[in-house]
């Protein structure tokens, strides 16, 4: 099991939770497990083609998955997955 941290803008898609559990050997498998429980969040994290979105970054521990192996990035028990959308607010 890994912890997936949910940013505020995506929390409505997971029933308001700040973090949820999901499991899988790779990031792709783990996200599929996440989508099973929360199907709405899929389109916000993956592009329509099924790759990683260009406006929500996915970090495995503190590393951006785009610069690891993308959805093929191995995930180990206890890893933390961080979903990071851009935030614009400053006012």
Partner 1 sequence: MGQASQLLMRRVRKEVMEWDTAKVQRDLADGERFALVDVRETTEWNEGHLPDALHVPRGFLELRIEEAVPDKDQPVVLYCASGVRSLLAAETLKQLGYRQPVSLAGGYNGWKNAGLPTVLPRTLGDEQRKRYSRHLLVPEVGEAGQLKLLDAKVLLLGAGGLGAPAALYLAAAGVGTLGLVDADVVEASNLQRQIIHSTARIGRRKTESARETIQGLNPDVKVVLHDEWLDKSNVARIIADYDVIVDGTDNFPTRYLLNDASVIADKPVVHGSVFRFEGQVTVFKPHDGPCYRCLFPEPPPPELAPSCAEAGVLGVLPGTIGMLQATEAVKLILGIGEPLVGRLLTYDALSETFDELRVRRDPQCPACGEHAHPEDLPTYEEFCGLPVRSA
Contact positions toward partner 1, by CB under 8 A? 7-10, 18, 44, 54-57, 59, 62-64, 66-67, 82, 84-91
Residue 91 class from Cβ within 10 Å (0-12 exposed, 13-18 middle, 19+ buried)?
exposed
CA of residue 41 relative to chain centroid, distance: 9
Residue 12 CA to residue 28 CA, distance in Å, equals 22
Strands 80-85 and 2-5, sheet pairing: parallel
Smallest gap, in angstroms, from Cβ of residue 54 to partner 1? 4
Smallest gap, in angstroms, from Cβ of residue 70 to partner 1? 13
**Residue 63 or 69 having the CB closest to partner 1:** 63
**Residue 76 or 87 having the CB closest to partner 1:** 87
Smallest gap, in angstroms, from Cβ of residue 72 to partner 1? 17
């Amino acid at each position: 099991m890994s912890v997936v941290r949910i940013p505020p803008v995506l929390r409505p898609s997971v029933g308001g939770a700040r973090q949820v559990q999901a499991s899988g050997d790779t990031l792709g498998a783990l996200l599929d497990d996440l989508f099973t429980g929360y199907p709405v969040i899929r389109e916000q994290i993956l592009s329509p083609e099924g790759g990683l979105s260009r406006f929500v970054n996915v970090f495995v521990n503190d590393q951006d998955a785009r610069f690891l192996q993308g959805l093929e990035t191995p995930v180990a028990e206890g890893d933390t997955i961080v979903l990071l959308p851009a935030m614009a607010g400053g006012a």
